[in-house]
Structure 1
Amino acid sequence: MNNLSFFLFLFSASIAYPAAADDSTSAFIYAGCSQTRYAPGSPSQLNVDSLLSSLASASFASPYSNLTSAVASAAFPAFGLFQCRGDLQPSDCAECVRSALSRISSLCPFAAGAAVQLAGCFLLYGNDSFVGKPDTSVLYKKCGAAAGAGYGPDQIGIRDAALASLTGRGNGPTAGGYRVGAAGYVQAAAQCVGDQSASQCDDCVAVAAAQLRAACGYAVAGDAYLGKCYARFWYNRNGAYNDEAYHHHHDDDETGKTAAIVIGLIAGVALLIMFLTFLRKAGSYGKD
């Protein structure tokens, strides 16, 4: 299991847009489980349980840790790591990891390997060592809505510049590689798992940014999660462009629809009154 291609299936859910800072740290993004299972009560289960417990304890002291457990049997070791978002406080990191462990327990019972990505942290374990190995496989990708109005002609260039500001930092980030960037009214963020070197992190973020450029077009936001990194961008509410203009555009459509419905109801009532008046007059004429 050299990368996350060992997953048989992925679960995924929506991400709130546009501001990363507004996301709950425990908001669910995706999870994946291996096809291979271990038997309840087996040495593999005991090693996995011990590993996950140790990762939960380590999350109080560090935003990243990788551990190995072979307490029950050296023949069936369990390897695991967690990575918290670089701007989280230690208590928030620990809470996020606990939430990730709960997700794995419910979604991937007895799985020999699993991963879960929440808005604030990433957790991965398996029965083969993956520490230090790059992985640019795309696990989850999502683009925000495309605005019908309000975009400037230079928006693609500004978005691409914001994404480009996340790469080329070979001597910068250490464990976790949390990066933020911006260009004009577009903000961006990226992070690599702490087992990646600076050059591996640059390569992974560049692939994630390329995925966003290719897939998200005129979207107001986008996220790409790869095996060992992620990148995302969103339009800043306080910049020259913000998503409020987009929502107002839709609000105007809804207002127009509502007005049309009201006018239609009024016209219908008027026709009904005219019809009843005609029937009343016709009845009176017959009596005469």
Structure 2
Amino acid sequence: MGFSSLKQLMSLCIISMALFSDLKLAKSASPDYTNLIYKGCARQRFSDPSGLYSQALSAMYGSLVTQSTKSRFYKTTTGTTSQSSITGLFQCRGDLSNNDCYNCVSRLPVLSGKLCGKTIASRVQLSGCYLLYEISGFAQISGMEMLFKTCGKNNVAGTGFEQRRDTAFGVLQNGVVSGHGFYATTYESIYVLGQCEGDVGDSDCNVCIKNALQKAQAECGSSISAQIYLHKCFIAYSYYPNGLPRGGGGSSPNYGSSGSSSSSSSSSSSGTTGKTVAIIVGGTAGVGFLVICLLFVKNLMKKKYDDY
């Protein structure tokens, strides 16, 4: 093999390494609104010898994903009979664009299938959206039931933080009601966000948000951040003593930060873990490919000199 062939091989190695690098960057740049917050799966799986439930579930998924291109909340019921009907809904965070809402919701059917399988009810919550479905006759739960919480590990007790946080909570509660279900704002370096399910009226929304805020105070104390998810609403806050990142109010901070968590269903950090694994695998594969290239070049050079 001549010098030109060796040169071509080295170019191939460099291009391949660049591709691995691009893959690594693409994995790490995944939008934070698609991070998995928690999942809730019913223990009972549905019996489906005729395939009616599967058809209804597939139709429901399709309808929800289609509607996510133009709405941040949609609820529907599918099925050929009342016994095999499935009611499902999705909701996107109020500050997501239509395109981001679609990108978020379109991931949920696959995630629900992977995380819960064909259970009679499922709820999957990402940072920016969630999907819920249940078959006809599934036992209803209170809208005030807490599904998941997470409290930041760091505390700021004794600094006046709790007073500022409680004032921010009051602003949030009023804002969610006047905003008819969604509100986000900043008060003295505390970013607060709240949202009610799209079909909840203002009065019930007010009660739900108040309940969630009280749980945040009781469960998380002086933690600098928290997320509280009730069945019909959720709230989140983060304190930034050095000022909000990215200029603050225009975009919500990433609530996927580390902290203690508790849930009535399984919780997961698989979104972050998945990206980490992908980066490690991509990097390892890239290094391995480079080593193979170098060994191949070495063998070719050795053969060339042996021929002489």
What's the TM-score once normalised by structure 1's chain length? 0.68
State the 1:42 CA deviation: 2.5
Structure 1: 4+ residue segments shifted above 4 A: none
CA distance in 1, matches of 2:157, 2:218: 18
**Contact 1:25/1:118, CA 8 A, preserved across alignment:** yes
CA distance in 1, matches of 2:172, 2:87: 29
**Contact 1:82/1:121, CA 8 A, preserved across alignment:** yes
Deviations 1:143-178 (CA, angstroms, capped at 9, x unpaired): 11224xx7663111011111121113586233xx11
SS at structure 1 position matched to 2:147: strand
Q: How does 1:66-215 map to 2 (within 5 A)?
A: 66-70=75-79, 72-128=80-136, 135-147=143-155, 153-169=159-175, 172-174=178-180, 177-215=181-219
SS at structure 2 position matched to 1:210: helix
Could you say what the CA RMSD is over the residues aligned between the two structures, in angstroms?
A: 2.5
Q: 1:209 to 1:129 in 2, by over 3 A?
A: farther
CA distance in 2, matches of 1:28, 1:78: 24
CA distance in 2, matches of 1:23, 1:205: 27
Q: 1:187 to 1:208 in 2, by over 3 A?
A: same
Give the corresponding residue for 2:13.
none
**Contact 1:104/1:115, CA 8 A, preserved across alignment:** yes
**Contact 1:23/1:119, CA 8 A, preserved across alignment:** no
Q: 1:75 to 1:129 in 2, by over 3 A?
A: closer
Letter in 2 for 1:213: Q
Deviations 1:211-256 (CA, angstroms, capped at 9, x unpaired): 111121221111101101110111135439xxxxxxxxxxxxxxxx
CA distance in 2, matches of 1:109, 1:58: 23
Structure 2 portions without partners, runs of 5+:
1-29, 245-308
Please say if 1:64 is aligned against 2:65.
no
CA distance in 2, matches of 1:28, 1:133: 23
SS at structure 1 position matched to 2:217: helix
Q: 1:56 to 1:23 in 2, by over 3 A?
A: closer
Deviations 1:24-58 (CA, angstroms, capped at 9, x unpaired): 11100001111221234531221112111111111
CA distance in 2, matches of 1:171, 1:142: 24
Give the corresponding residue for 1:50.
59
Please say if 1:217 is aligned against 2:217.
no
State the 1:127 CA deviation: 1.4
CA distance in 1, matches of 2:177, 2:36: 32
**Contact 1:169/1:202, CA 8 A, preserved across alignment:** no
Larger Rg: 1
Partner residue of 1:227 out of 217, 227, 231? 231
State the 1:60 CA deviation: 0.8
State the 1:200 CA deviation: 1.1
CA distance in 1, matches of 2:115, 2:36: 12
**Contact 2:69/2:102, CA 8 A, preserved across alignment:** yes
Q: Which has the higher contact order (CA 8 A, sep 6+)?
A: 2
CA distance in 2, matches of 1:151, 1:185: 16
Identity of aligned residues (%): 29
